[in-house]
Structure 1
């Protein structure tokens, strides 16, 4: 009997081994799978470091594109300010750096620590990049020029170029010239603008417009900052309605200028999509997934893989739609930013601050109310002795808007009216006596002490 049991146990053991072997799953594999599951459950959230251009008016729109996609993934986005540290600690834990502008030391440390760098909008010099996400700069230049030649076929045209050392700026200028070269009667004057020199370019433009009065037909401004500088110069010289302003980077202010008629065209570079595509690419780098990138940009580092974002001209026909999109996205981004700030603030500190602030307000209100009745009489003032004449100057400003049939503002007009009135001193004295007697009667009424404080405080704030 014992022999039969041993035989049965041996047979069952053989069957178990055979089952494991035929299923392709050995004991070591089972242990390995268990270890993998445990490792996956304890894996940390990946971090993407982002350094953007603080001077870019569309910065929040780019941020919105990044954050909207980050919410759907287990990825932490760490934003690095331009004034922050660019040492190794800034990139600690980061798997990818998305870089538009900021502390240049970030790029060096990324190279040292082998953190892939994904450029946004422009190609930084001397850095080996994993790729670049950029609007179609050459197409932007072409669209600007096409908007120009639809209105002007001859005369002088000023081009305000961005930093001439940047690849994107060079491509944009090339796009301008590829179209304008077909119009021999248009002469070009280009002013380059290295980073931070917008004020210098503005002065150069002002001087050129004054020296060539009546000859300049249009100004092509490549960046939002240059658009703003050109707009200011044209307004100062009262040329906003005479010289065409065409931009290469649509922003909410530039779209407002188009709506008011002081700018004729701009180019929508899709900042939201720039941010969204940069995040998607960074995530693929982290996950080591294949990239569906077919374009590239030629730079001093050679050919760089590039995601080219499509651009489109902003015209009077599509202005309302694009403007609404920019405004709504910006408002949503600002709301998200407020929520993140509130969430990051310790709740205990918030409650403590609220309590302190409330106590201060109550205390201040009591003090203000207690002296309200007295202050009311003091604030009214007295007419100095010997006064023979009192004048009052009343200044009013009226803004008139002209709208078309669709309710769009097509023009504005401001008028200012200033009127000087003479007031007899006796009238002021009578008003002061009336106010004094009214204050006295309020103080003698059947009010409780708290009601008297409230009444006095109200009178003081109203005065």
Structure 2
């Protein structure tokens, strides 16, 4: 090969290499731009558990998915359930971030542990909506119920169930998980009513939102206080109330027990007389509000029309919030609450085992 031919080959190779490098640079640039823009059609949904309460799979998830689809037909919801594990929920959260999701609806299993990861998400431009529980960290919005009022309603419903005997009654309290800020609000609200209206809270423990733990704690209360040592039981939710009632029945104790969440099984226990009341937090308005906030944030819209209130967390102040009102459900108003709202049909409640109770309650 002569000198002229060598120069031609080298020149051709140089041009080819330059073109190749330019193409690689362009491809890399496209990839980077794609990552920066994120997933503008997906909304993450992380719910905390599915053992202590059936509400998350039965109501929150399908209601949120339906509302998102109605507001944004080409949007989709990427859903995971933590199944009672804070570490699992953190992994699920990290996965959504890695996938480029820009809005996450987070019902934190352990709200106190979220500060660092919510901040990391915010630093990457990811908006987090605290759902039901007020997660720590710079969340963009919060949607829930007035949780201290929930506790007040629980306390008053227990007093009402005791009637004239309330002032001479000792109470056992099985609270929610100490890691859940809502549990503290429920407890505070309940004490606000119970303290001064009942004789004394003689035993108080956390049931950790776990029916098995709640069952163990009520068993310990029976051993410590005796069968006649208390006249009512406050349970922070229905899942724990079910386990408590089972233990009380086994010990031959019949006292008022209340709960929260208005699960179908709880409504049936109210019909049969095993449970005194539950707290109904209308899931559809809650879920719809979360979906509206998520779509608005995804599309860069102002959220003040939905989150018109504000609330402070342990780490941040002035968080835009939407707070809804809870309701007490007793045998007397099942028809006017969970049935009237379409949460359940009378036929759902009044299966063969509960036919007599339903007839007495006027449900058909």
Scaled by the length of structure 1, the TM-score of the pair is 0.57
Superposed CA offset, 1:45-81 (max 9, x none): 6211111123231012112321221232222222134
Q: Which residue of 2 aligns with 1:80?
A: 80
CA drift of 1:190 comes to 1.5
> Equivalents in 1 of 2:311, 2:221: separation in Å?
35
Gaps of 5+ in 1: 1-43, 332-397, 410-463
Counterpart Cα distance in 1 of 2:353 and 2:174 = 33
1:192-223 Cα distance to aligned partner (Å, 9 max, x none): 2336x542332121121233221211111112
Quick one: structure 1 residues 166 and 89, their matched pair in 2 at CA, closer, same or farther if it must change by over 3 Å?
closer
C-alpha change, 1:204 and 1:137, in structure 2 (3 Å) is same
Which among 199, 207, 211 is matched to residue 224 of structure 2? 211
**Cα pair distance change 1:161/1:107, threshold 3 Å:** same
Contact 1:88 1:109 in 2 (8 A): no
Whether the 8 Å CA contact 2:45–2:79 is kept in 1: the answer is yes
The DSSP-based 3-state class of the residue aligned with 1:215 is: coil
What is aligned with 1:99? 106
How much does 1:248 deviate? 2.3
Q: Any gaps of 5 or more consecutive residues in structure 2?
A: 1-38, 83-87
Q: Is the 8 A contact 1:87 1:109 kept in 2?
A: no
What does 1:363-442 align with in structure 2 at a 5 Å threshold? 402=356, 408=362
2:344 counterpart of 1:327: yes
Question: Taking structure 2 as the reference length, what is the TM-score of the superposition?
Answer: 0.72
| In the alignment, structure 1 residue 131 sits paired with structure 2 residue 141 | yes
Residues 161 and 77 of structure 1: is their aligned pair in 2 closer, same or farther, counting only changes over 3 Å?
Answer: same
- CA contact 1:119–1:133 (8 Å) conserved in 2: yes
| Cα distance in 1, alignment partners of residues 95 and 80 from structure 2 | 11
Shift of 1:188: 4.4
RMSD value, Cα: 3.1
Secondary structure of the corresponding residue to residue 302 of structure 1: coil
Output the CA distance in 2 between the equivalents of 1:129 and 1:235: 44
What does 1:114-263 align with in structure 2 at a 5 Å threshold?
Answer: 114-125=125-136, 127-152=137-162, 153=166, 154-183=168-197, 185-194=199-208, 197-212=210-225, 213-239=227-253, 242-263=254-275
How many angstroms apart in 2 are the aligned matches of 1:312 and 1:171? 16
Which of these two proteins has the greater Rg computed from alpha carbons? 1
* Counterparts in 2 of 1:296 and 1:77: CA distance versus 1, 3 Å: same
- For residue 149 of structure 1, give the secondary structure of its aligned residue in structure 2: helix
Indicate conservation of the 8 Å contact 2:208/2:214, yes or no.
no
User: Contact between 1:250 and 1:267, CA under 8 Å: does it hold in 2?
Assistant: yes
Any conservation in 2 of the 1:145–1:176 contact (CA below 8 Å)? yes
CA gap 1:173/1:87 in 2 versus in 1, 3 angstroms: closer
1:309-350 deviations in whole A, cap 9, x for unaligned?
A: 211010222213544433359x9xxxxxxxxxxxxxxxxxxx
